[in-house]
Amino acid sequence: MDSSMRCGMTRVEGVCMLEPFAHIWSRVCAFQAFSDDLLIATYPKAGTTWTQEIVDLINNDGDVALSQRAPTHLRIPFLDIPKIADLPQFPSGLELLEKMASPRTIKTHLPFQLIPPSFWDQNCKVIYVARNGKDNAVSYFHFDRMNLLQPEPGTWSQYLTRFMEGNVPWGSWFDHVKRFWDERENHRILYLFYEDMKEDPRREILKIVEFMDKKLDDEVIDNIVDRTSFNTMKDNKMSNYTTFPATIFNHEISPFMRKGTVGDWKNYFTINQNKLFDSRYKLEMENTSLQFRTEI
């Protein structure tokens, strides 16, 4: 395995960040949002790609052919990402957004306090998706194994310690999910849960449709539910990240579309790790009304 591309980490205003991302941070922070921009914000591995596919289909009234026009990262640019390794198919998010016609849908993993202020000045709509911390940690661990730009994850046990400390790119999961939750009523934020989307995708898709002020026929909604199921997205090269070169995403190590379930953490957490996580959770989350389900 070529590990030479793996990035180092640094901090941006106290938040762990990959070095090349930190390098362009001041330009990202100065990004000028427009009032009709829609932001999809998540902690990494919370269901970003799933939500991107849903939103893209809603934006295009369920037109499947249009959703096949390009891979996810070109349809809905990733604001925070710099140009990757001089590969022409990987311009920076900022570069893509500059050329994109409005209304734009934009992805970010930035925690609330690092979101460029223009999004709030412009009163942009934000869809935030949160996933329970245990499944989120397992998913992130496997992602860091296969994404050869991320720092080496080490063993699961080493990784879980780093995750709980927030020593992973985009920082503490606890802070991320909490801050957006606390701010959800101060801005136009639709706060969704991965577990709810798994439990009843139609119900959650309808919330997104309403939030986006769209009116779609039942048939179109049904089709969006089908098109965005885990199995369909796993087989769709425009949404499964297999268009990325294996030097960046090595799906043989672990596929990007890995399991897509709630409760996989039970296959990884030892009894002791579970106890440690639960007590850390209690400490970090004592002052919030935010609650997660770790099984459905």
Catalytic sites, residue numbers: 109
Using CB under 6 A as the binding rule, whether residue 97 contacts ligand A3P is answered as: no
Q: Which of 75, 125, 142, 179 binds ligand A3P (CB under 6 A)?
A: 142
Closest approach, Cβ 36 to ligand A3P, in A, equals 24
Residue type at 276 in one-letter notation: L
Separation between Cα atoms, residue 113 and residue 125, nearest integer Å: 16
Segment near ligand A3P (CB under 6 A); pick from 56-64, 161-169, 226-234, 281-289 = 226-234
Using CB under 6 A as the binding rule, whether residue 227 contacts ligand A3P is answered as: no
Q: For the beta carbon of residue 140, count every other beta carbon within 10 angstroms.
A: 27
Closest approach, Cβ 53 to ligand A3P, in A, equals 7
- Strands, DSSP E only, in the chain? 9-12, 15-18, 38-42, 105-108, 125-130, 189-193
Using CB under 6 A as the binding rule, whether residue 146 contacts ligand A3P is answered as: no
Separation between Cα atoms, residue 65 and residue 70, nearest integer Å: 10
Separation between Cα atoms, residue 247 and residue 10, nearest integer Å: 23
| Beta-strand relationship, 105-108 and 189-193 | unpaired
Segment near ligand A3P (CB under 6 A); pick from 17-25, 56-64, 222-230, 273-281 = 222-230
Angle separating helix axes 156-165 and 133-146, nearest 10 degrees: 120
Using CB under 6 A as the binding rule, whether residue 233 contacts ligand A3P is answered as: yes
Q: Which of 9, 161, 230, 274 binds ligand A3P (CB under 6 A)?
A: 230
DSSP 81: P
Query: Is residue 159 a contact partner of residue 12, using CB atoms and an 8 Å limit?
Result: no
Segment near ligand A3P (CB under 6 A); pick from 93-101, 150-158, 174-182, 258-266 = 258-266
Using CB under 6 A as the binding rule, whether residue 260 contacts ligand A3P is answered as: yes
Separation between Cα atoms, residue 184 and residue 167, nearest integer Å: 25
Q: Which is nearer to ligand A3P, 183 or 264 (CB)?
A: 264
Range 18-57, binding ligand A3P (CB under 6 A):
42, 44-50
Which residues contact ligand A3P by CB under 6 A? Answer: 42, 44-50, 135, 139, 142, 228-230, 233, 257-260, 264
